[in-house]
Amino acid sequence: MPKSPPKSPKKSVRDEKSKFGKDRRRRHHHFLVTVSYADGESFGRVYTDKEKATRFADRQRRSPVVKSARVNQVS
């Protein structure tokens, strides 16, 4: 009986562009929101949902004492 050709690896359902995209151990990603205030203080909060992190950063940006608020994917 002839051998069948080897099967190609399955393609991922998600098409991710980040450097964490091929890590199959991960079930969700973490997003760090860093808020910098006008007096030099900074504050960070981690979310597992990008939408919630973005909404939090947008809400913080509306405050007159906030200098910047950024969202970074950390894992």
In a domain, 60, yes or no: yes
Place of tokens 């992190």: 53
**Cβ 46 vs Cβ 56: under 8 Å:** no
Structural domain includes residue 9: no
pLDDT in tens, 7-32: 666 555 555 466 666 666 667 889 99
In a domain, 66, yes or no: yes
Name the helix (H) or strand (E) containing 70. Answer: strand 66-73
Helix (H) or strand (E) holding 44, with range, is strand 42-47
Query: CA angle at residue 61 from 50 to 56, to 5 degrees?
Result: 30
Residue (of 11, 26, 17, 69) closest to 45 by Cα position: 69
Question: Per the domain annotation, does 16 fall within a domain?
Answer: no
Over residues 20-72, the pLDDT tens digits come to: 666 666 678 899 999 999 999 999 999 999 999 999 999 999 999 999 999 99
Give the range of the structural domain holding residue 56, as residue numbers without chain letter: 31-73
Q: For the chain, how many structural domains are there in total? A: 1
